[in-house]
Structure formats: structure tokens, C-alpha cells
Copies of this chain bind each other. A is one copy, B any other.
Amino acid sequence: MKNQTIEDNVRRLKNLLVDFDIAMLTTVQVRDGSLHSRPMMAQVSGFDGQLWFFSRFNSAKVDEIRAGSQVNLAYTDPSSGRYISISGTAYIERDRRKMQDLWSEIYRAWFPRGLDEPDVALLRIEVVEAELWDAATQATGERMRFQ
């Protein structure tokens, strides 16, 4: 029964995330514990319990992510009054095959040479929990578990 509930949540969150192009990724700076966020181009392909983002390998956020770092992703749509907070753990991946699977021409704005760019990396976020605010359903911090 527990697995079924998680599967339901995965399907539901997948249907919600399809409307968002950008997520704000918040990480904790190791040096002083300060919290920093930045916009990330959301993945076009489906959500299956993990979220993937292309990133430069040499970047502050990658420096701030050690294997298993806790992060937050915020998806915001003021026009519909829908807000999603995702709590998860982050990993840096450099698997070429996965990059090829996830590549879309939309990323060329950041990586003009595509996957030939030496500095390209992936962030993989294992989703632990999502919280939803939705003016349409009057959800105010409704929780969905993924682990």
C-alpha cells in the first residue's frame, strides 16, 4: 500500500511539474551555512521520483553540492496561485549516456557546444517530500511523500 501511495504521488507531481519551465534551486553554502538560490531550466522529460538539471561543473552550486546534500526546489506560478516546494537530496552526475537521454536544444543557450562542452554536468535530485499550495484546490502546504 505504501508503494502505491508513492506511485500516486509521483504521477500527481509529474502532472503538476509539466507546467513549469524554471525551478529555483536552494543550496546551503558549506563555508558559512548561508542559503542561496538560483533559477534552473526545468527538465522537459517526465518525473519518475528524481529530477535532473543540466549545470556547469565549475559553478558555485556544484561546489555547494556534495553527494547527498539537502536542497530545495521551488516552482512558482503567481498567475495561477500555484507554488510547489520540493525537498530532496542532490548528487552531481557526469554520465554521458544520461546526458544524451536528457539533452534538448533548449540547453544550447547555456552550452553552445552542446554535450561537447567540457564543463557540462547533471544535477540529480532524489525527491523526499513535496508541499503544494494551489489557489484552485485551496491546498495550503499539502504534503506528498516520495520515500
Contacts and interface: CB of A to CB of B under 8 A. Distances in A.
In which size bucket is the chain A interface?
20 to 34
A83 B26 contact: no
Interface in A50-97: 60, 70-72, 74, 76-78, 83, 85, 87
Nearest to A35: B72
Q: Is the interface of A mostly helix, strand, loop or mixed?
A: strand
Interface stretch (A1-9, A36-44, A100-108): A36-44
B38 A72 contact: no
A128 interface: yes
A1 to B, nearest CB: 24
Contacts of A131: 36, 38
A37 B85 contact: yes
Contact of A37 (B28, B34, B72, B77): B72
Interface of A: 21-22, 24, 26, 28, 33-39, 60, 70-72, 74, 76-78, 83, 85, 87, 128-129, 131, 133, 141
14 contacts: A24-B85, A26-B74, A26-B85, A28-B35, A34-B70, A34-B128, A37-B72, A37-B74, A37-B85, A38-B131, A38-B141, A39-B76, A60-B141, A74-B74
